[in-house]
Chain A
Amino acid sequence: MHALIDLRQLAPPEPIERILHWLDTAEPGQIGLFHLPHVPYPLYEHLHMRPCHWECDKQADGSAILQLVRDQ
């Protein structure tokens, strides 16, 4: 089970900055779980530029849980 990192209390663009920083320093195969205040649509373009894949689940309260996997 991976720890869920709660980024809901941060103002933009801090959540995006932290996720990108995590991704840039993660080992291949490492999985990150992030709780965000909203579905992070603007982040997707930045993720496309990096070796990763992800799933994002919108929650009933409007927040979103992003599961990010660092690829090779």
Chain B
Amino acid sequence: MFQPEFSLPLSTPLRFFRAAPCWLLLASLVALGLPPEAWQARFSPAMLALTHLLMLGFAGNIMLGALLQVCAVLTGVRAHPTSAIVLWLALQTGTGLLAWGLWHMQMIVLQLAALILLAALLGLTLWLLASLLLRSALQQHSPLLWPILGLLLLALSGGLLVSLLSTGQPALALNDLLRAHIVLGSTAWLSGLIIVVGFTVIPMFLVAPAWPRWLVQILPGLIFALAFASAIDARALYLLGLPVVLWYAGLLRVLHQSQRRADPTRALWAWGGINLLLPLMCVPWLEHGSAHWPAATPVLLAAYWLLAGVLPIITAMLAKIIPFLLWMDYRLEQPSGGRLRHMGQLFPERWLRRLSYGVFLMGIVLWPLSSTSFKAIPLMLMIYALALAYCLERSIRIRRQAS
């Protein structure tokens, strides 16, 4: 029987998870300092820097930590601890340099950032793809292949963008390359990984039946294919929402069948899922009719996708994965009994409820506040970042104190 070692040292995913709220805090401080007119231009240097602080620094750290953990647990592909530290360092350095380079439009800094991030992400994705394909010969093909392929193309398109900005080469239309980079990052990589991780964590932690097998087998590939097609040709954006509609229908069904009716993560997944989908459905209309929309609409739509879509799901994932990893680590040290009897001691449900209220509030008030007091949004994001950091650090402390 195929029985490799599936665990990963606890410090590997935790290092990424712990860095994420720091980047979110920095991003919200930056957002707080922006003048109101900055929100009108989505491709202004300040907005580009802010976007990368959020997507690479915050979401990137969490999703890479989750990816390494999920690859180890589900497929037995384990990152070497030293390589994981190098990846972590490269991600933090690359994100910092990229945000700085974009903010000041300093080409040498941008090139350095691109080199660091490209080397790290290409190394990671090529290694993961090779390892997963090798395992596929022994086991069934893993749906994780598709978001990893999305990450590979995202890194390459990012490298091309920096090259185009700094040297004028390759001779590609900047708008097309930007669209490719955005759609690969938001859909092929981030949404793709959220969907694949959800195939495991939702049935596992919410005690629900497995997702329909056909959905698990075709959906990740379909999302990748349509994201790739949209990167090549903007007309494919009209189709991009369709697989996400399928996913959301499946998500609602699985959540409905969950045995843990009172678990706050059910509502977070449902709320996050619909808000991953809705902005995606609006994008083609925005892309082809931009003259009819207010100038700030693209920025607001992206903010809504992140705050009301990605953030609730990330909160739901972390609130389960972190105490589970800490508990498993504790059980290795204390094979039976001991002071920790259940995961709720590590990450109490009341913490999750409070985080959830904050997340719901941010999504609900984003549009109304955008026209009246925009500064309130980064302020709320800052409070969320501090609360998330508190929950993470407190959980880790409780685990340490139990030794």
Contact A38 B200, CB 8 Å, known A20-B336, A49-B335:
yes
Chain A, Cβ-Cβ closest to B208: A37
A9-49 CB contact bits vs B (8 Å, 1 = yes)?
A: 11111101000110010000000000001100110111001
B259 and A9: CB pair below 8 A? yes
B73 and A46: CB pair below 8 A? no
Which of B3, B205, B213, B332 interacts with A46 by CB under 8 Å?
B332
Which of A20, A41, A50 interacts with B73 by CB under 8 Å?
A41
- Name which of B128-136, B323-331, B359-367 contacts chain A: B323-331
Q: Is B209 an interface residue (CB 8 A)?
A: yes
Q: Is B5 an interface residue (CB 8 A)?
A: yes
* Residues of chain A contacted by B5 (CB below 8 angstroms): 44-45
| Interface residue tally for chain B (C-beta within 8 Å) | 28
B1 and A56: CB pair below 8 A? yes
CA of A42 to CA of B72, assembled, Å: 10
B207 and A46: CB pair below 8 A? no
* Residues of chain B contacted by A50 (CB below 8 angstroms): 335
CA of A42 to CA of B1, assembled, Å: 16
Chain A, Cβ-Cβ closest to B336: A24
* A-facing residues in B199-228 (Cβ within 8 Å): 200, 203-207, 209-211, 213
CB distance from A54 to the nearest CB of B (A): 9
Number of contact residues on A: which range applies?
A: 20 to 34
Contact A44 B343, CB 8 Å, known A11-B205, A24-B335, A37-B204:
no
Q: Is B354 an interface residue (CB 8 A)?
A: no
* Residues of chain A contacted by B213 (CB below 8 angstroms): 62
Contact A42 B200, CB 8 Å, known A11-B207, A37-B207, A62-B210:
no
A62 and B6: CB pair below 8 A? no
Give the B-binding residues of A (Cβ under 8 A): 8-14, 16, 20-21, 24, 37-38, 41-42, 44-46, 49-50, 55-56, 61-63
